[in-house]
Structure 1
Amino acid sequence: MTSPTALPGLLAVHAHPDDETLSSGALLATWARAGGEVTVVTCTRGERGEVIGPDPDGLEGDGPRLAAHRETELARALGSLGVRDHVFLDQVPAPDDDGASDDDGAPARYEDSGMAWVAGSSGTARLGADVPPGAFVRVPLDEAAARLATVLTDRRPGVVVTYEAGGGYGHPDHVRAHEVTVRAIELAGLDVALWHPSATSDDVAAATAALEDDWAQAAGLPVGPTEPAPSYVSDDRPVVVRVPVEPVADAVLGALRAHRTQVQAVTRAPHGSDVVGCYALSNDLLAPLRAHETYTASDQRGIVVPPRVQVAWPR
C-alpha cells in the first residue's frame, strides 16, 4: 500500500449515469481536487430510465437514444466533478473476449436491467418482470468481473467505491455492480480498501427534517419520507469515512444539474443550513444533499481502513 501521507488512486463502480453523482459525488470531487487519480466505471447507460419533466425529443422509452443522451449528461457531470478518467464496463476487453457482437455487428452492450418499485415502500426497488436480453443482471458474473478486473489491474487503485450488498435501495443493477466489484477484486488479486456509501438513520432523519425550512419549500415539491429506510441506511455498519460536501458543493450541484433527464429541483441551501442543498428524482420528492457523504468499509486482502477517517481537503 501507499504511505500514510500519499493519496492512493480511487476507482468508483456505478450502475448508471447519475449514480456516480448521487452516491459519491463529493468523494469523487474531493479526491480529484486533492490531486488524486480518480476513475469512474459505469456499467450501463441507463437505457430504461425515466425522463423527468418535458420530453420534447421523445427520449423516454427509446433506449438507444436515451442512452446516447445520458452519455452526454454523464460527460458533463464528470467534468463538473473534475473526473477525467471514465470507462464503460462493456467497452473493456475481457481476457477471454471472443469478440461477441449483437445482431447489427456492434460489440455487445450491457443494458439497463430496469426495475419495479416494491409495493408499499417509499423507495425500495426490485427486478421487474420485463428484463431485456442484454440486461446487466443477465451477464455472467465472472464475465463482467473479468472486465472490471482488467481496469483494476491497469489503474491499481488503493480505494474502490461501490454500493453495499443491498444496492443502496435494491435496484438490481446496483446489487449486481456490488457483486461484480467484489468478484473483480478477488480476480485482480489486489490489496484495496472497499468503501460503500452508508448513513445512520439519525443522520438521514436530521437531514430530511432540515428540508422543512422555507428555502426547500420554495422548490415546490414535498419532502420525501425516511421510512422504510433503504439498504444504505444502517445503524449496524460503523461509518469510517466522512466527506465534507460544502468545500465541493458547487461541483456536486453542477453535476446533479448536468443529469437533467434524471434529477430535478436542484437547490443550494443558504449559508448556515444543516444541509448543503436538495434535489428530487422522478418520484417528485425532495431529498437532502447532506453536509457529509459517509461510508462504511469492507476488508479486502487484509486492508483495514482506520476508524473515523476524516477526508477533508482545502477549499
Structure 2
Amino acid sequence: MHAHPDDETLTSGALLATWAAAGLPVTVVTCTRGERGEVIALPGTTSEGLGHLEGDGPKLATHREGELAAALAALGGGDAAAVAHVYLDRVAVPGLAAPGGDVLFEDSGMAWVAPGIAGPDPAATSGFARVPLDDAAARLAVVVRERRPAVVATYEPGGGYGHPDHVRAHEVTVRALELAADPAARVAGRPLPGEPWTAALWQAVAPEAHVRAARRALAADEAARSLAARAGLTFADPDEALPPVARPAAALGDVVAVETAPVLGRVLAALRAHATQVQHAQAAGSDALRTAGVLGWYALSNGVLAPLRARETYTVGPAPRRSVGSAR
C-alpha cells in the first residue's frame, strides 16, 4: 500500500521483486498519481524535456501512471502481469463515491523541511491526506477481502519520511485491516462486501545504525563523490536527526529482512523507470560500500545522493486491533 507512483520501488522494491521472482501473487495498491510531485528533467534520461509537467496536475498524473506501469514490469522481471496493480480510488464500494472518469484521491503535496524529511505543502488545501479515513480504508479492505493476502506492507506511522500522504496511507492500511477482518464491518450504513480476511501488517523501517553507516560510507566513496561533484548533488549528514523510518535496534521488535542483492537489477530498472522522480540510480562498484551494506545509490528532487541499502527491513505483526481515530 503506497501513496504515490515511485514509493512502491523506493520503499518496497526488493520485497515486491523477491515475491514476484518466486512466483507469488503480488498486488501494489497506489493511493494517488503524484499530481503535485516535483519533476526532475534530467538530460539523457526519459525525463529530459519534461520540466513543463511540474504544476500541470492532470498531465503529470498521466505521465506518472506510465512510469509506474514500467516500474512494476521491471520489478516483475519484464513480465507486466507478475505484479498486479490497483489505484485505490478505482475500487467500488457500495455507499461511497463511485469510480469514474474523475480522480477521487489526489496527491496532497509536500515540502522538504530538512534533508530527507518532508512536511505538508502550505499551499495544498486538498488531497489524500484529507480524505475521510473510512472512505479510503473501506476500498482497501475490499481489495484485501478479494485478494486475500498473507501480508499487507506499508509505511510505519511516521510515513517513512513525513510526507502527509504516507502518514495517511499508514492510517488507512491499519483501519482497512480492521475492517477486512471484521464480519460485522459496515461502511456508509452498508455491509462491507466480501468475506472477512485477516492479514499480517508489515511496516517498513530501518535500523538507525545501518542508516548512519550507509550514509557515512557513501559520502566517503570516491565514485559517489565524483558523481556528486559533476551533478551538483550533496550527501546527507550521517549524524543529523533521521527520518521516522530509522529506529534504534532496541525499538524495532520483530522484524524480517529482505535482501536486495538477488533482485538488484530489477530494483534499479524500476527506479530508472520513475525518471521524473528519481535520478542517478546505479549499482555501486566498491567493496567498501558493499561491506557497509550499500549496493548502489540514487537521488530524489532534493538533490541528495542516497544509499540503496542491501536489505529492506519490516516490523512484522498481526493487524492492530485498535482504532486509529475518527475520519478527518
TM-score > 0.5, shorter chain as reference: yes
Partner SS for 1:90: helix
Residue 245 of structure 2 is matched in structure 1 by 232
Letter in 2 for 1:75: A
Residue 151 of structure 2 is matched in structure 1 by 159
Residue 3 of structure 1 is matched in structure 2 by none
Alpha-carbon distance, 1:219 to partner: 2.1
Residue 326 of structure 2 is matched in structure 1 by none
The yes-or-no answer on 1:37 pairing with 2:25 is yes
Matched residue count: 283
Aligned pair in 2 of structure 1 residues 182, 213: CA closer, same or farther (>3 Å)?
same
Gaps (5+ residues) in structure 1? Answer: 1-12, 303-315
Letter in 2 for 1:224: A
Gaps (5+ residues) in structure 2? Answer: 43-47, 77-81, 182-196, 322-328
Letter in 1 for 2:90: Q
1:1-315 alignment runs, 5 A limit: 13-54=1-42, 56-57=49-50, 58-82=52-76, 83-99=82-98, 106-118=101-113, 121-133=114-126, 135-189=127-181, 190-211=197-218, 212-220=220-228, 221-226=233-238, 227-235=240-248, 236-238=251-253, 240-270=255-285, 272=287, 273-274=289-290, 275-300=294-319
Structure holding more helix per residue: 2
CA distance in 1, matches of 2:53, 2:103: 22
CA distance in 1, matches of 2:85, 2:154: 15
CA distance in 1, matches of 2:253, 2:237: 23
Give me the identity figure in percent.
Answer: 57
Partner SS for 1:31: helix
TM-score by structure 2 length? 0.82
Alpha-carbon distance, 1:217 to partner: 1.9
Alpha-carbon distance, 1:23 to partner: 0.2
- 1:199–1:239 contact (8 Å) kept in structure 2: no
CA distance in 1, matches of 2:130, 2:149: 27
CA distance in 2, matches of 1:41, 1:35: 19
Letter in 1 for 2:122: A
- 2:2–2:29 contact (8 Å) kept in structure 1: yes
Supply the RMSD in Å over aligned alpha carbons: 1.7
CA distance in 2, matches of 1:65, 1:299: 39
Alpha-carbon distance, 1:156 to partner: 0.4
